[in-house]
Amino acid sequence: EAKKRLNAQHPGYIIDEELSDEDKIIVKKPNGKVIVAFRGTDPGNKIKSGIGKGMNEPIMWIPIGLGKEDVFDQHKHDDLKDDLIKKYGIQNIDKITGYSMGGTKAHKLADNLGIDSTLFNPLLGSKFFMTPLSPNTKHHIIRTTEDVATLQAIYTQKGKKMPKNVKVDSIDEVI
């Protein structure tokens, strides 16, 4: 179904079935550049490995909200990072994006690669931007007020100033 919609709306764009899975999709554009996009939390999905294995994904919100972004295997992208570089080259990774928990994952990968990201309602922990690997990488956060991740961010980010490389907009400002 996704392939049909992509072909209808964006002819020439190709889903990389080797690197894509139920958590993320890698799409190659006609110019050879790729977009990496991560989905948000699926309450019915289980954590696949490591801490919390077998538990439903929403349990990840608690430690991430407390600043423990690296405790879950699903947020570590060393293999994906290496695969993207090997297959496409860093210069051909055009965009990294994600929604909610997928925004958290997208930020992590973008920071590791030094590639700008657009994050939609990312679930931000209390230490989310504290020690960037790529401090010059730009992260554009777009928020709506109806989202759980945005409500959570009100508490975890309260009183904290965002670094200069992070821009936050409400959806109303973007449209």
Could you report the per-residue pLDDT of 80-115, keeping only the tens digit for each?
A: 999 999 999 999 999 999 998 888 889 889 988 999
Is pLDDT of 175 > 50?
no
| Structural tokens at position 127 | 């230490």
Rounded CA gap, 108 and 121, in Å?
15
Q: Is the separation of the CB atoms in 113 and 96 below 8 Å?
A: yes
Helix (H) or strand (E) holding 165: none
Confidence band, pLDDT 50/70/90 cuts, at residue 44: confident
Average pLDDT, integer, range 129-137 = 75
Nearest 5°: the CA angle 90, 115, 38 is 95
Q: Is 17 exposed, middle or buried (0-12, 13-18, 19+ CB in 10 A)?
A: exposed
Q: Please report the pLDDT score of residue 28 as a whole number.
A: 96
Give the mean pLDDT of the chain.
79
Q: Of the given ranges (91-100, 117-126, 127-136), which has the lowest mean pLDDT?
A: 127-136
Which residues make beta-bridge pairs with 36?
26, 96
Nearest 5°: the CA angle 149, 124, 27 is 85
Confidence band, pLDDT 50/70/90 cuts, at residue 151: low
Q: Of the given ranges (6-10, 20-24, 106-110, 123-127), which has the lowest mean pLDDT?
A: 123-127
Q: Compare 102 and 161 and report the one with higher pLDDT.
A: 102
| Structural tokens at position 11 | 């002819």
Q: Compare 156 and 175 and report the one with higher pLDDT.
A: 156
Is pLDDT of 147 > 50?
yes
Q: Please report the pLDDT score of residue 153 as a whole number.
A: 56
Percent of the chain with pLDDT over 90: 30
Please give the model's pTM, rounded to 2 decimal places.
0.79
Q: Please report the pLDDT score of residue 159 as a whole number.
A: 54
